[in-house]
Structure 1
Amino acid sequence: MSFRDSPAFDFVHQRFKRKLEDFDDDDLSSELTFVRMRKDDPNPNPNPLPSTASGNNPFLTRQHPHFQSRASTSTSTQDAALLSYPNRIQFFVRMISGGNTLVLHGKPDDTVKFIHEKIQSVTGIPMIEQRLIYRGRQLQWDHTLAECMIKNDAGLHLVGRMRSTEHPQAWQLVDDLVSTIYRLCKGEKGVCLKSVKPKLIEFLNMTAKNDVDRDHPAPHLNIFLSLCAPAALVMLYMSPHEGNRECAEELIRHFIDSSRDMLPKPIYSQCAPVVLEFCKLIGRTAPHDDPLYNLCRGSLASMVEDLRIGRSLRNYDNSCNKPVTNIAVEDIFPFVAELASLLSDTLVSSMESSDSISPSPCDVNNFAAFLRPLRAAIKDQPDFGGLIPTPIRYSLPCYSDEIKLLYILFLEVFEKVQMCLDKMEGDLVIEETEDGGWDQYLAILKELRGIAKLYQGAEDFFWVNLKRNKVSLSYLILRYATRDEDYKWILEHKELLDFESRRHLVMMLLPETKDEYEELHEMLIDRSQLLAESFEYITRADPDMLRGGLFMEFKYEEATGPGVLREWFFLVCREIFNPQNALFVACPNDRRRFFPNPASKVDPLHLEYFYFAGRVIALALMHKIQVGILFDRAFFLQLGGNNISLEDIKDADPYLYSSCKKILDMDPLTVDQDALGLTFVREIEELGSMKVVELFADGKNIVVNSRNREEYVELLIQHRFVTSVAEQVNHFARGFADIVGEEKIQKLFFKSLELEDLDGMLHGSESSVSVEDWKAHTEYNGYWETDPQIYWFWKIVGEMTSEQRKVLLFFWTSLKHLPVEGFEGLASKLYIYKSNDSVDLLPSSHTCFYRLCFPAYPSMAVMQERLNIITQDHVGCSFGTW
């Protein structure tokens, strides 16, 4: 069943149809219709608007908040209407200065003051400057129309000129624009279509120059609305006369384009009521696939996405620093429902069709744009104060229908998306690389999750149900997630993703390296002063320069490029995490893992070096270089802002872990007999002497017993792994945040990963180097795979130790550790080149391009001798590399 056939769509459609049709004839009697008359017409026709071929007037006047068309087709029709309401009086008010005429409807007991208020509402002429003249005498405010002897078709004169208004030029300009459109719709001879556009251009230029005060309503746009210019343009668009439709479309498009390009953002947003009228009027008379309607709907979406709607008529809200305008929730919701219907229909079609059908990016973007102010308006209501309870079985204090229907829309669209994701997983099994038109699914899921956050239990429902689509969700991220979108909403639920998709998302939190050498931060470093000089280059550099990328060169060496940079990262990280430098200590249970050294202050610059280390690690990750380093779990958790438990310290301090476990597992009676002899203190070694630290005030006098032992263990762990290294961790995090841009991104990076994920990204593959995988990803230049030298080479490599292979790999690529995917994860294949050098020379390498070069050695023994030399650790680093 399509969404258009669902109860939700029917409810939406019927509700808003009733709103449009719910027009009270009593309102008609008190509404003002502003009609342009020809200045030389001595007997103004009370119904001058032309009828279409079908007999319906296309001019939709603003007689109701929902713009219900009440078009009349002839004077006789209107006269008949007047006879049906004997208490209604129709009369005309003629402007002396402009020759324009207002057609008014009133009741005999309406006061003259009430008529003055109507005139002010449409013309802007202050009431104090108005004088109404009838039969040579001025009408008094407190008299009624009956007392003034005003009858049907009476003619009054308004003494007051347009220049008495605040913006007389704008009034006159829009007045002329609408008058010209009216004459075009009548099909009058001598009216040039080309005369309309200059008037609109002049009005927009005037608006751009004057409507720049965002603290007050945009007066020019209000004038444009008050004089029914949008309705006039739509009337022209629906006109049967030749050229009118094309002219109107050009004018409406020009208004939208110029508003976007010429007006400041706050004023551009205030164009929303005008474009809303375009949408309502065109949408009521043209099909929903009408290009002009779609343009107006998309433009309205861009205007309202940052607006505050539904509670204020001021056009700027200083409390939230966002523009507001007189757009209501009821105005926005029909577009949300319409776009939800379009998306649902497309999703259903994609399931039923063998072709690749994807929801339109434009529809998805508009759906998101309309949802933003709608969600904000719902959350702004003080009646809720929290999540909306579900199921919604009672009347809500405000936006009742919209809140109910929005939840139904969420369920309808989410169901369709999940069905598509199920189908996707089946397609991936059959044809893994086939694109089934899935590029908009992530964007739709993001908006559905945004709706779910409004309702109790809905977000949990969303994530729990999405667990069944982990495979397709991970595929979507790897295939379609790009840097120009925000995917933090997915990272909050990292358990739904696999390692590759998590890595893909967090890598987009890091800056993107640049290829332009002139933008790279250049370093020239002496190997003998590797750590000290690297510290100066990285610590003193502006973060913006580092984010652009690095260019590395060692002093007295000719080699440059990515291969040298990979080597530098490996060597400098080996020095940073060398326990002899006292910055980090290796975990006893896993010597590859490191934790900040609580005693690092033996070096006066230790905090600056932690700051330096944070920058280096962030840069290594940014450049996708495996440096052979692993973090301890306690250190990793702190970088993500997470708490540390007893199980998290197992590798970093196995003795403390074992002791704490014994304390917690000991018989309570034994503990209460003071068998432990413990108080709330901790002994630490500092500069060769023991020091006692209280875990809280007067802790040395508090005995550990069965009731407080859990608190004791928790405080002990907190002091050992948090308090004692807080400064070191903070400085490391600050250095890392410098590269990613801000602290919250730094925390999100680590929070979004599992420790094993970071292991793979920072250290690389834990598996031994596979010779078969190596061989499968190697190509040849000058040699053939069947040449004896190639056969000898792979036989020798196959007989090497694991460490020798790592040294050879490092000599060849400047990488001692492969990505977790193995050789497939490298930027390119590896190459063996045949050189013309003497067979007495050792192999050489171009690490930047993953090239190993050697001559045609005469025997396997000679080749093995040469390879044995370069696979010695002290030789393999940089010797013979370029």
Structure 2
Amino acid sequence: MSSSLSKRKFDDYDDDFAANLNRPTRISTRMRKDQNTLPSSSSPRSTLSDPTRIQFFVRMLSNRTLVLMARSSDTIHSIHEKLQSSTGMPIMEQRLIYRGKQLQWEQTLHECGVENDAELHLVGRMRSTGHPQAWQLINEVVSVIFYLYKNNPPAPLTVIPAPRTVKTMLIDFLAMIPRTDADQAYEHLKIFTTSSAPQALVMLYMSSYQANRDAADDAIRQFVSSSKTVVPKHTHDKCVHIFLEFCDLLRKAAGTNDPLYGFCRTSLGTMVECTEVWERKGLLGLHDIFPFVRELAAKLAHDLVLSTESTSFVGPSLSDVRDFSAFLVPVRNEIKGNVAFSVPIEVPLSEELSSLPLCYAEEITYLYGVFDNLLNKLDKCLAKIEEHMDLVMKQDGETLFFGWCQYLAIFKELNNISKLYIGCKEMFWETMKRRKSALCYLIVRYAKRGDDYKWITECKEVTNFEARRHLAMMTLPEVKDEYEDVHEMLIDRSNLLAESFMYIARTDSEALRAGLFMEFKNEEATGPGVLREWFFLVCQAIFNPQNALFVACPNDRRRFFPNPVSKVDPLHLEYFNFAGRVIALAVMHKVQIGIVLDRVFVLQLAGHSISLEDIRDADPYLYNSCKQILEMDPEAVNQDALGLTFVHEIEELGTRKVVELCAGGKNMVVNSTNRKWYVDSLVQHRFVKAVGEQVNHFAQGFADIMSSNRLQRSFFQFLDPEDLDCMLHGSESAISVDDWKAHTEYHGYKETDSQISWFWKTVECMSTEQKKVLLFFWTSIKYLPIEGFGGLASRLYIYKTSESFDRLPSSHTCFHRLCFPAYPSLSVMSDRLNIITQEHIGCSFGTW
């Protein structure tokens, strides 16, 4: 025999041995050729009379080999005893390794897969590791597991003290992991896998005894969960291999529908989602991760088919979609980082690319098929939503369609995949446009706070106003109904702006997100109605041109953008931050304030660039002048007909000032070649550079309410500038009395009563402004939502009171209640209503 058994192919050796069972002398001759082989007390010839006996070799650290004979049913513990008698090494210091795994005392040779001519390695238990306590503890864990597995139900446990369980022992094992030394932490984790602990735990999980199954389930979940929190972050990549081993073992033993497998798969997904997957760096590779993508893609496709065929509308599960998303992150990164490919990739792959080593041609082609398959199935799902649109809009159909809630998350992943392949991005968005109504329904119904929907902004044509507004609102905190933690304000009307500034600008933003409680000094009214009134009044003050913070557009006095000379007020930047907070809070509380932000302002808040066409409303004079410059005959421009250089003349604090638009601008004449550059520079200076600080402070104030600058930009990116007009100003349509009637209920009156008839006749005869004042008096709302009265938080109510006829109507704005006595005639009714619709009376006349 060769002097190195580990170099020999043992499969070939087993074949030789099986073919020569009747020729033991040949085997003995082979063994004599190995001068380092120690004879054992057993003879190879004994295998002839007992076929259950096997011969195997034990390689020691000294490179000497011991030949042993034993029965397949002998335990590893008995082999350790034989080794002790032959080598003198105490049993507690021995470790037997076979195929990279430590053999446990309770196992038999057959259970360990030890066959004829197998080679085992004997190493010292305590002396061969830097973590003797960890080795001892994990060996105890495995011993207990084998004891439990072989005793169903188990006899009284004597292997370990009764209070300690497999779960608590694993917790103690994790607690031993070094926190600062990554290499030592890795060696510690390696003990867990080398000791065959994962295999033992899964074996116990597959036990026929339920108590064992529960104990293993609890222990595996505890180990996996604790690994993510106890193990230092810099060694998380080492945990990935353990999680992967659990997944492989459970997939084979219990199947992919097993709940514990699903738990381990999800845990692995959360790890690899943030772990660099790169084979040459020794971590996981694409070939390790991609089987999960295959598995989950098939599961999602199956569930999507069921959601179109089943009457219960069951759809993909949240865990499957989340796992699919997690495993796709390293897959996409690996494909994009592969030097063989230039993204986007053309499929089918060329023969040259397919033959390159490590180019993942099979996975790339398969992922393309996943995209195409899932997109087609989701297209059918959206078609089904459109077929049942009337039903899903009904209240009683809400619970019937809960399976649709994961569609948006799958669309997000398909959009990510589409960017990897030529033509797929166009295919994806064409499908979205074709199913726009169903997609918008899904957004409004299922888009939740905290999820990422920014991918939808890549093609806003697939959304309508309702969907875009919903996505924007999801970036803001939700208004709470409780009044325990709200920020309380007591404000004097005569000093409204200054006191409001102190309450909002000087308060920690965290307190503002919880909600607001508003009172005016010396007034009894409180509640949401008073808060709506405060929003309206304080916004009117902020955007009042006399305060020099904002400038109104010449052709539309409702539109405002920052004033370039706002620094006349030393606190102007703090007031812009305050203004940003107030506007964010108004949107958050869904209050229409009758004011809109001009397009140039909104685009900057969204992080977009400004062009000449965007300034049309903000500065019509400059817009027209620039258009004339661009449209003039080139020859006339080159003859210096314009007489312009690259400078901009502005008025600041009563003095004229000349600013160069570029270095040396005073000496640079505008001609036909550079005139576009001149116009662009002029627009950028006037509407970007001149107000940059103001815009930034407003944006920061807006972001304070969201807790994130990223969310602030996302809010404006979800919307078109016209959408924000609708959200801030409200409906542009005249107030419809019929719509008003349709959303009003009566208490004490009947719709047929004379007083109700007189009331609506009087309202129909009012001017537009009188109707707004009456609505404000009734609800503290002067501008209706874009949907009209149907967009209000509640219906309106008219209450009958027992007061005398000379009393004016009163209101409870929080509850949208208007109260008045049974006036005796139409003239009396009209007189009372005309009094309260006078601007100075109608505002702030409600009680609560």
Which of the five TM-score ranges fits, normalised by the shorter chain? 0.7 to 0.9
Q: Which amino acid aligns with 2:381?
A: C
Q: What does residue 338 of structure 1 align with?
A: 295
Instruction: Select the residue among 175, 198, 205 that pairs with 2:165.
Output: 198
C-alpha distance 573-90 of structure 1, shift in aligned 2 (>3 A): same
**Could you give the per-residue CA deviations for residues 633-661 of structure 1, whole angstroms, max 9, x where no partner exists?**
11221221212212111111111111111
Which of 318, 324, 333 does residue 367 from structure 1 map onto? 324
Distance of aligned partners of 1:797 and 1:230 in 2 relative to their CA distance in 1, 3 Å threshold: same
Tell me whether 1:256 sits opposite 2:217 in the alignment.
no
Cα distance per residue 1:234-284 (max 9 Å; x no partner) = 444556xx63x7514531442223441575264777544334333323322
Decide whether the 8 Å contact of 1:93 with 1:103 is kept in 2. no
The counterpart of 2:388, out of the listed 427, 446, 449, is: 427
Q: Is residue 224–residue 267 contact of structure 2 (8 Å, CA) maintained in 1?
A: no
* Corresponding residue for residue 772 of structure 1: 738
Shift of 1:837: 1.7
The amino acid that maps onto 1:207 is: L
In 1, the alpha carbon distance for the partners of 2:121 and 2:307 equals: 64
Distance 1:789 1:550, change over 3 A: same
Indicate yes or no: 2:188 matched with 1:227: no
Work out which of the residue numbers 702, 709, 716 in structure 2 matches 1:750.
716
Is the 1:492–1:752 contact (alpha carbons within 8 Å) kept by the matching residues of 2? no
Shift in Å, 1:211: 5.1
Letter in 2 for 1:879: F
Distance in 1 (alpha carbons) for counterparts of 2:619 and 2:304: 54
Give the Å deviation of 1:563: 0.7
Cα deviation code 1:830-866 (max 9, x no counterpart): 1111112221111111111111111111111111111
- Cα separation, 1, equivalents of 2:322 and 2:619: 52
Q: Which residue of 1 aligns with 2:358?
A: 398
Structure 1's 658 and 290: CA in aligned 2 closer, same or farther, altered over 3 A? closer
Q: Which one is further off, 733-742 or 335-344?
A: 733-742
Secondary structure of the residue aligned to 1:354 is coil
Q: Distance in 2 between matches of 1:157 and 1:386?
A: 49
Partner residue in 1 for 2:822 = 856
State the distance in 1 between where 2:50 and 2:549 align: 93
Letter aligned with residue 297 of structure 1: R
Q: Which residue of 1 aligns with 2:702?
A: 736
Distance 1:652 1:157 in 2: 83
Residue 284 of structure 1 corresponds to: 252
Give the aligned partner of residue 28 of structure 2. none
Q: Which residue of 2 aligns with 1:172?
A: 136
**How far apart in 2 are the matches of 1:152 and 1:562?**
85
Deviations 1:772-813 (A, max 9, x none): 111111111111111111111011001111100000000011
Q: Deviation digits for residues 671-723 of structure 1, max 9, x if unmatched?
A: 22222222222222334443333222332322222112111211222222222
Q: CA deviation at 1:736?
A: 1.6
Counterpart residue number, 2:108: none
Q: 1:756 to 1:527 in 2, by over 3 A?
A: same
Give distance in 1, aligned partners of 2:656 and 2:249: 84
- Distance between the aligned counterparts of 2:522 and 2:12, measured in 1? 94
In the alignment, structure 1 residue 565 sits paired with structure 2 residue 522:
no
Report the alpha carbon displacement of residue 597 of structure 1 after superposing the two structures with TM.
1.9
8 Å contact kept, 1:805–1:871? yes
CA contact under 8 A between 1:640 and 1:751: conserved in structure 2? yes
1:697 and 2:663 aligned: yes
- Which one of 285, 300, 305 corresponds to residue 273 of structure 2? 305
Q: Which moved more, 1:777-786 or 1:680-689?
A: 680-689
Match of 1:812 among 769, 774, 778: 778
User: Aligned partners of 2:443, 2:41: CA distance in 1, in Å?
Assistant: 70
2: CA distance, partners of 1:444 / 1:762: 33
* C-alpha separation in 2, matches of 1:103 and 1:404: 56
**Deviation (angstroms), 1:525:** 1.1
- Does the residue aligned with 1:363 lie in a helix, a strand or coil? helix
Query: Matched residue of 2:182: which SS?
Result: coil
Q: 2-side partners of 1:117 and 1:154: how far apart?
A: 12
Aligned with residue 274 of structure 1, among 242, 248, 253: 242
User: Residue 179 of structure 1: CA displacement?
Assistant: 4.7
Task: Quickly say closer, same or farther: Cα 1:252–1:707, change in 2 above 3 A.
Answer: same
Matches within 5 A, 1:476-495: 476-495=442-461
Deviation per CA, 1:139-170, whole angstroms, max 9, x where unpaired? Answer: xxxxxxxxxxxx97799995845355322333
- Whether 1:542 aligns to 2:508 is yes
Give distance in 2, aligned partners of 1:530 and 1:299.
54
CA–CA distance in structure 1, aligned partners of residues 154 and 791 of structure 2: 73
Give the deviation of 1:575 after TM superposition.
Answer: 1.2
- 1:518 deviation in Å? 3.2
Measured after TM superposition, the shift of residue 456 of structure 1 is: 4.6
2:623 corresponds to 1:657 = yes
After superposition, the C-alpha distances for 1:449-478 in whole angstroms (9 at most, x for unaligned) are 233344455334323332212111110011
Question: Deviation digits for residues 160-198 of structure 1, max 9, x if unmatched?
Answer: 453553223333344344455556666799866796883
Task: Report the Cα distance in structure 1 between the residues aligned to 2:548 and 2:641, rounded to whole angstroms.
Answer: 37
Deviation of 1:557 after TM superposition, in Å, equals 0.8
TM-score of the aligned structures, taking structure 1 as reference length: 0.79
Map of 2:468 onto structure 1:
502
Distance of 1:44 and 1:360 partners within structure 2: 60
Query: Is the alpha carbon distance of 1:782 and 1:277 closer, same or farther for their aligned partners in structure 2, counting shifts above 3 Å?
Result: same
State the match for 1:524 in structure 2: 490
Return closer, same or farther for 1:250/1:123 CA change in 2, 3 Å cut-off: closer
Mapping of residues 427-826 of structure 1, within 5 Å: 427-429=388-390, 432-433=393-394, 434=397, 435-436=400-401, 437-826=403-792
Structure 2 Cα separation of the partners of residues 830 and 44 of structure 1: 99
Q: What are the superposed Cα offsets for residues 191-222 of structure 1, whole Å, 9 maximum, x if unpaired?
A: 66796883453233222343544723444432
C-alpha displacement at 1:376, in angstroms? 3.7
| Distance in 2 of aligned mates of 1:703 and 1:91 | 98
Structure 1 residues 29 and 268, CA gap change in structure 2 (3 angstroms): farther
RMSD across aligned positions (CA): 3.8
Letter in 2 for 1:362: S
Residue 208 in structure 1 maps to residue 165 in structure 2: no
Name stretches of at least 5 consecutive residues in structure 1 with no aligned partner: 1-23, 32-41, 47-73, 83-88, 105-114, 125-150, 315-325
Q: Distance in 1 between matches of 2:338 and 2:78?
A: 48
User: What amino acid is the match of 1:309?
Assistant: V
Cross-structure match for 1:351: 308
Corresponding letter in the other structure for 1:222: K
User: Once the two structures are superposed, what CA deviation does each residue of 1:467-506 show, in whole Å capped at 9, x if it has no partner?
Assistant: 2121111100111111142222223432221111111111
Q: Give the SS at the match of 2:279.
A: coil
CA-to-partner distance for each residue in 1:560-616, whole Å, 9 max, x for gaps?
A: 111111111111111111122222222111121112222323333322222221111
Determine the C-alpha separation between the residues in 2 that align with 1:496 and 1:723: 34
Secondary structure of 1:518 counterpart: coil
SS at structure 2 position matched to 1:203:
helix
Match among 804, 808, 812 for residue 838 of structure 1: 804
Matched pairs, number: 766
Q: Deviations over 1:79-108 (max 9, x none)?
A: 6999xxxxxx994599xx97664999xxxx
Aligned CA distance change for structure 1 residues 93 and 454 (closer, same or farther; 3 Å): farther
What is the Cα deviation at residue 524 of structure 1? 1.2
Residue of structure 2 equivalent to 1:36? none
Moved more, 456-465 or 693-702: 456-465
In 2, are the aligned partners of 1:233 and 1:248 still within 8 Å (CA)? no
